[in-house]
Structure formats: structure tokens, C-alpha cells
Structure 1
Amino acid sequence: MKELLKLIEEKFHKTFKIDNISKVEIDSRNIKKGDLFFAINNGRNYIENVLKTEDTIVICDDNKWKNHERVIVVEDTIKAIQSIAKDYRKRLNIKLVGITGSEGKTTTKDIIHGILSSKYKTKKTVGNYNNHIGLPFTILQLDENDEFGVIEMGMSHKGEISALCDIANIDYGVITNIGDSHLEFMINRDNVFLEKSQIKNYISEKNFFIFGDDVYLKNLSGNKIGFNENNDFVISDYSETIDGVNFSVNSNSYSFKLNGKHNCINASIGIALGLSLGLTSSEIQKGLNLVQVTPMRFQKIEKDGILYINDAYNASPVSMKASLETFNRINFSKKKLAILADMGEMGKDEIFYHEDVLNFANNTDIDTIIILGSLMKEAYKNIKSNKFILVENKDEIKKLIKNNFSDRVILLKGSNFNHLWEII
């Protein structure tokens, strides 16, 4: 990352006795020789330890380090990482794909990365580093030899998508869907759409890819992907197996290893982008086979003879229903148990949304449903069904699995703060 070192030396009028920056870090525990460390928030507490490692450089907003030869003191470290990332991106000869949407951002990012990696040197956002700190951090992981970057763009407040686009200067844009996410701050879906759709202002129509069956997105101009015949890329012949989904896009057949209609759509968006870039169907299928999916996205884990489906990284009404629908559809040849926990950031109608999910679950063929969390508990008061088991904590769930449900296939679904993975 010689170009990044050159940029920093020019920007801050300082010279360092190294030839190259090894990598950029915001977590002091990962520091190695030659790393650049941004001391964000509590990171300033670890500057001394970072500087003990040879050839490290620190950028911070703590004046007590202003005379250290390997420290650059700025007014605001977060603004500094954003500014440096924006300038660094301009120096890179790379194409960036920006992905936003209410659900499916991370999986779609993984898919597009896999597809592009079949032909190009490509990097992607690690995990879901997709906010005002995570996105510039991701850009600073790129180097001069990369050909494509696939970056996730999250938001919870107005103005955030435009700010991220301004930093990233994206070449291609994707909106996966518009759902009931972050309603605590965004109030309603109309506001979510207005914010997410800001991405279209930073790219041309031919480089814009959207789920064309979405009631909000279908009226935007761009490449539309969906099951309806009026889309530019039409999905058909969709089917589920235990191992994933089979489907066609514009009559070419594909397969993908994650279950769910929503993941078929996510994969089809990636296929549309790949086709638009000139990749062949065989290159795209090779890329789909290469996809490394971020954990806790309908992830199958077998332990002690029990098959768990861990889909519990995050949750909204749309993703809860999609997960339940997929779980319901697959023939596992065993009875099914779903564990459902609270959804976060649902706003003033949070009980209504939880009740809606429970009613949906009640109308599936899933044999037993365990519910956890204060919001689920409140919503359950209006549900009349003997299919549900209400519990107070995860220890109760573990005992129930061990004593009563060790012969089941088990779905875990809820927002990440529930830590449902602890059950496994």
C-alpha cells in the first residue's frame, strides 16, 4: 500500500521511515509491523501499545502524542479516516460496487464478490463493516492491484447513504429491497426508500441493479431483476433442495448453496451484474460456487447429531418471514423446531410487527416454535395456539432441546443482540 503511505505523507506533510503500509487497523489487537492504526473512540487508550510494534503509524485526536515521530494528530479521527479514504479511492484504478437495501446486503455482497472473483482481483467489505467508519475502513484495505471492490452500505438515519457514496465514489449500485428496517429512526418504509434510493444519484442507469418486483423499486430506472416478466433479468424455474436453490435467469440455469427465495433473488442480482460486465454463464456459476457466505445467514451447522439453521445475525419482519417460509418449504425428513427472538429498532409499532411474525409462523407447518424476548412475550399474549413455547432465557431452550427436541431440525432467527448462536 505504497500509494496510501504517499498520500498520508503528502496530506500531513510528514515523512516516515518505512517503504510501505502493511495494512490499516482500527482494532489494536490485530496490529502487526508496519500497520497504520486509526485510534477511534476507545482506541486512544491503546496508542502506547501500538507504538511498541515496529514501524507502526498512528492517527489520533489526542494532543499528548503530537510530538511523537510516528503519530499524526488530527482534530477528529473519524473525519480523518473518511477524508483519507475518499482521497485514497481517487488514486485507485478500481471499480467499486456499492450495495444497500433493507435485507440481504451482506449475502448479496458475498455473492457479487464470488462472481467477480472468478475473473477479477476483487475485495469485499469484511463482515458488515458498512457504516461511516466501516466503509472508509474497507476502502483503506484496497491496494493498487485490486480490480474490483464490493462494499456494503448500511444506514439508520437520514443522509447516511449520500455520505457513504460521497466517500466511495461508486461505479455500480445495488438496492436489494425496501423493508421495515430501522423504523425506530426512519419511522416508515417511505423514508427508508427515500434514503436507500439516494444511491441512484451517484451512478448511471446502466450501472444500477435493483429487485424489480419490489413495490418501491419497480418504478426506478435501472437494471431490474425479478420473477415478473417485465424485468430485464427474469428469474424462473426456482426450486429448493436441502443443499440450496436451483433457478434460471433469462433462461440460463444456475444453482446456489443457500436456501430461500430471498437468496435466489440475491444471487440473481449478482448474476445480472456479472452478465452486464461480460462474464459468461459458466464463469458466473464458477463464481457462485466460490462464494464464501458471511456466517449466520441461513448457515447449516451440525452438532451432536442435530442440524441447526443459524439465520440469527439480524432480523426484520421481512427477513423473519422469508426465513420461516424457506424453513417450512424444505423437506428435511425430520420434524422442525423454530426458535424466534426479538427484533430490534422496530419503532412505536414494535409489538404489532412481532405479533405479525408470530401469526405468520403459526400458519406454517413448522411443528414447534419457541419464542424468546420481552417483545415476543408481549406479542404472544394475542396468539391462540398450542404450537408455541414461551421461555425466559437460552438455558431453558438448551434444556428443552436436550430433553425433548434432540430429533428436530432447528431454525434460529432473531436480531443479533439475542446471541441465539449461544444455543448451538
Structure 2
Amino acid sequence: MKIIDLLRDYFPKKKILESVDIEDICMDSREVKKGSLFFAIKGGNNHVEEAIKNDAALVVYDSEELLITDEKSIFTEDTISFMQKLAKDYRKSNKTKVVAITGSNGKTTTKDMVYSVLSQRFRTKKTQGNHNNHIGLPYTILKAQPEDEVLVLEMGMSGFGEIDLLCNVALPDYGIITNIGESHLEYLKSKENVFKAKGELLKYVHSENTIIFGDDYYLRNIPGTKVGYGNENTFKISEFIENDRGAEFKLAGKSYRIPINGEHNVINASFAVVLGLKMGLSLSEIEKGLEEVELTPMRFQKIEKGEKLYINDAYNANPTSMKLAIETFDKLYNKRACKIIVLGDMLELGEKSGEYHKNIKDYLIRSKAEYIFLYGREMKNLWSVCREDKRVYYFKDKDSISEKIESIKEKSVILLKGSRGMKLEEIIK
């Protein structure tokens, strides 16, 4: 069923719905074109008339202060709630299979790998950018076409009830929980609560279609297909090796290769393998999907700038992901003359944030890096326990880090790791 058909059911007396069709969905009035369905969210209400002038097919708004009489307009008490209802009904009306992915680390990389694998067989769409919340998820569903066979949805959250809401809209057929880490401790206070919040997915997906990281303390005892390095897993990862070009591993006795480094990314790839097998893909299709994966930027992304190679892993950070990034970086590029680690604040860690930052010292002191640069208010905590290490420097601004890196004339490789709010990519000139 098309979106316009649902709207006709919602508003049977609205005559214009008989003659219009919807070609596109948008939330930014600057992107409106002929045939767009424009959702005015918050400040978007100020641009309803602009959207109509730009030939939108329909506009949905919720500002009672506006007196829009144009027949293309639809007033609702809450645009976001309306969009969620429409997305749920649209999802229910079509045969598209939905894959839901949540967890503290690795959601986006897993999403990219699952998408690449399933695209070898099915017409597949995925969450774009950071559209993984109560607005972005219904938006992603509505952007899909009725003929799409699979929709891979990333589900983010910061508190209780959010995954439940997203699942209630998306009604997933398959679910993946990557791990339970320290993300969102500012709001949820403990990893047990993070597990409860992420676990809201479980009541929506049958255990046969649930794939989880079986080595995780909080996930290992829940029903589902378990993936990991331990012997107790349904699918055991073995023979992991890596070099500057990527990683290789075996899963259930079959060899696979991915163009990205890290034992944690092998876990993410394994989720994609297992889901591919569950959905009937051949081994050759799965292999091809992994080898051809295009990752969302800032996930161990390699950027060459003259004699400098930047490893941009600065989309997000928490203690677990920072540890993994440092350990992975330590194994690689050791033939290059100079290795530099740049760390920015890990945000949203709550009351123990200072302690979590200080604990990074345990990984840094073992690092082979010649230079370690720290930036951000929270990183002062790490600096306070590392300042006697002559490799470690603290900077008040990113321009100074850029200048310091440029002053190192030898060939260098630089790891950037920090939370999204720190924008460490701005160091790359």
C-alpha cells in the first residue's frame, strides 16, 4: 500500500487527496519539491507556507497559531505522533521485512554490514545518518518504497521506553543486540538499566530471529542465537587475524574477510553473516556483501593527507569503544615512523565520568604510540593521572593539536577517538 492510500483512509472527506500523489518525504522545507509530503516538526511550522509555495503535495503541521487554509495542509495535534502512526500503518500494510539493531556499541557498523550482505539478494534500505530515534525511525520507514523487501533499522535510545516505542512503530521481524556498555549512564545510572532499556526489543522479536553477542555478561543468558568468541556460542568466531588492509576470521568453520580492523568489528560482521544465513543467502553472497561493505564515515575511517594517515573513529565514544580503538590501533601500522593517539571527551557517562576517563590510563600506558594528545574538559581527568608520561600532552583547542601534528615532519598515522560532540574530525586539515 502507498502512503497516499493510508491518508485517504484517514481523511475520506479531504477532496485533494483524490488527485495528488506523494513522490517524496521530507522534514526540511529546503528539500521540498513537487510531490513532497512535508512534516513540519517544531521549527518546521514556520515554513509551512514556504513548503506549499514550493509545490509540496501535502504538508502536516501542529501549530495552533497558524491559520493555514490551503487545501494541501493537514493539521494535527502532534506532527511527530502523526508521523509515527502513519509509519506504523505503512509498515503493516506492506510485506517488507524489518531488521532492528540496537546495543551500546557497533550499531551503525553492524547496520552497514547487514545492509551490504542482504542487498546481495534483496531490495534493501537502511537508516541513513543519525535517523535512529523517535523521529528518524518513522521518517526512514516512510522513505521506503512498498516494493522494498528488507528495511534495516538502527535503534538508538537514552532512556527507558524508547526502544519499546521504536519497536512498536517498526514491528521488527529480526533483532540484533550488539552489546551492553556504558553509553547513556548519565540517564540510566547503571549497565543493568542499559540492559533493561535495550532489552525492550526482545518482546517484539521471536528468540529464533534474535541475534546477540553471547560473550556479553548481560546478554549471554537470554534466549536467542548467540555469536562470539566463547565456546558456548551458537556461532563461534575463531582464527581472527588482521593487517593494515582489514581483518579475516572464521565463523562456523567458514572463512570471511572484512575491509575494516578490530576484533569488535569482526563481531559486527558475524551478526551480518548469521542473519544472512537465517534469511537464506548463500555463502558466496554473504562473502561478497562483507567485502563490498561501505561504512558510514567516522568508523575507523582512513583518510590520507600527504604524509599523514588519519584513522577517524570519532563518531562516538565510551570506555569500551575507546579501549577497543586503542588496542586495535596498537596492533596496526607499526611499520610507519610515528603513531599518534588523539582522544576527546567521552560524554554522557554520568556521575562516574571522571573515574571512567582516568581508567583509560590502563590502556594508554601499554600503547606503542609516540604521542598521545588529549582534548576536552573531561579529558583533564585522564591528564591528571598521565601527565608524567612524556608522550602525553593536553590541549585546550583543536587548532593547537592540528599544528602539533603538522609540526611532526615524519610519516605519521593518527587515531582520532572521542564522542560526537567533540568533533575531532575538525583536527584534519
Contact 2:32 2:55 in 1 (8 A): no
Q: Which moved more, 1:59-68 or 1:166-175?
A: 59-68
Contact 1:97 1:148 in 2 (8 A): yes
Contact 1:18 1:55 in 2 (8 A): no
**1:18-70 deviations in Å (ceiling 9; x for gaps):** 45311111122222210111111111122222111224311010232442111
Contact 1:176 1:211 in 2 (8 A): yes
**Equivalent-residue separation in structure 2 for 1:130 and 1:248 (angstroms):** 31
Contact 2:210 2:225 in 1 (8 A): yes
SS of 2:378 mapped into structure 1: helix
**Equivalent-residue separation in structure 1 for 2:110 and 2:182 (angstroms):** 18
**Equivalent-residue separation in structure 2 for 1:256 and 1:123 (angstroms):** 21
Q: TM-score, normalised by structure 1?
A: 0.97
Which residue in the other structure is 1:27 paired with? 28
After TM superposition, list the pairs within 5 Å mapping 1:4-403 onto structure 2.
4-13=3-12, 14=14, 15-16=16-17, 18-63=19-64, 64-334=66-336, 335-383=338-386, 384-403=388-407
Shift of 1:17: 5.9
Contact 1:313 1:415 in 2 (8 A): yes
Q: Does 1:413 align with 2:414?
A: no
Shift of 1:289: 2.4
In structure 1, runs of 5+ residues without a counterpart are none
Contact 2:188 2:194 in 1 (8 A): yes
SS of 2:238 mapped into structure 1: strand
Shift of 1:229: 1.7
SS of 2:104 mapped into structure 1: coil
Q: Which moved more, 1:274-283 or 1:114-123?
A: 274-283
Q: Matched residues, percent identical? A: 45
Q: Which amino acid aligns with 1:422?
A: E
Q: Which amino acid aligns with 1:206?
A: E
**1:348-367 deviations in Å (ceiling 9; x for gaps):** 01001111123312222122
**Equivalent-residue separation in structure 2 for 1:59 and 1:8 (angstroms):** 11
**Equivalent-residue separation in structure 2 for 1:27 and 1:292 (angstroms):** 26
Q: Which moved more, 1:236-245 or 1:60-69?
A: 60-69
**1:263-307 deviations in Å (ceiling 9; x for gaps):** 100000110111111211111011112322110000001112311
Contact 1:225 1:234 in 2 (8 A): yes
SS of 2:59 mapped into structure 1: strand
Q: Which amino acid aligns with 1:189?
A: K
Contact 1:18 1:34 in 2 (8 A): no
**Equivalent-residue separation in structure 2 for 1:251 and 1:12 (angstroms):** 56
Q: Which amino acid aligns with 2:117?
A: I
Q: How many residues align?
A: 423
Q: Which amino acid aligns with 1:395?
A: D
Q: Which amino acid aligns with 1:244?
A: G
Q: Which moved more, 1:185-194 or 1:28-37?
A: 28-37
**Equivalent-residue separation in structure 2 for 1:361 and 1:18 (angstroms):** 64
Q: Which amino acid aligns with 1:103?
A: N
Contact 1:110 1:294 in 2 (8 A): yes
Contact 1:50 1:56 in 2 (8 A): no
Q: Which amino acid aligns with 1:167?
A: V
**1:316-355 deviations in Å (ceiling 9; x for gaps):** 1111111111100113411210100001101001001111
Contact 2:307 2:412 in 1 (8 A): no
Q: Which amino acid aligns with 1:208?
A: T
**Equivalent-residue separation in structure 1 for 2:412 and 2:421 (angstroms):** 25
**Equivalent-residue separation in structure 2 for 1:375 and 1:240 (angstroms):** 32
SS of 1:381 mapped into structure 2: helix
Contact 1:242 1:332 in 2 (8 A): no
**Equivalent-residue separation in structure 2 for 1:211 and 1:341 (angstroms):** 27
Q: Which moved more, 1:82-91 or 1:286-295?
A: 286-295
Shift of 1:11: 1.1
Contact 2:38 2:56 in 1 (8 A): no
Q: Which amino acid aligns with 1:45?
A: N
SS of 2:285 mapped into structure 1: helix
RMSD, aligned α-carbons:
1.3
Shift of 1:228: 1.0
**1:167-210 deviations in Å (ceiling 9; x for gaps):** 11100000000000000001010000011111111111110000
Shift of 1:141: 1.0
Shift of 1:124: 0.2
**Equivalent-residue separation in structure 1 for 2:237 and 2:32 (angstroms):** 45
Contact 1:33 1:56 in 2 (8 A): yes
SS of 2:129 mapped into structure 1: coil
Contact 1:65 1:73 in 2 (8 A): no
